[in-house]
Amino acid sequence: MSKMHIKTGDTVVVLSGDDRKMKKDDKVVRRTGKVIATSPAEGKVIVEGVNVVSKHTKARKQGDVSGIIKTEGAIYASKVQLYCPNCGCGVRVKAGYEEKDGKKIKVRLCAKCGKKI
Please state, in angstroms and rounded to a whole number, the distance separating the CA atoms of residues 84 and 12.
Answer: 9
Q: Residue 77: its pLDDT value, please?
A: 94
Q: Which fold has domain 11-57+69-110?
A: SH3 type barrels. (2.30.30)
Q: 91, exposed or middle or buried, with CB in 10 Å at 0-12, 13-18, 19+? A: buried
Residue 18: the pLDDT is: 87
Phi, psi of 79 (to 5 degrees): -90, 0
Residue 81's pLDDT is what? 93
pLDDT in tens, the chain (117 residues): 567 889 999 999 999 988 888 777 777 788 999 999 999 999 999 999 999 999 999 999 998 889 999 999 999 999 999 999 999 889 999 999 989 888 999 999 999 998 998
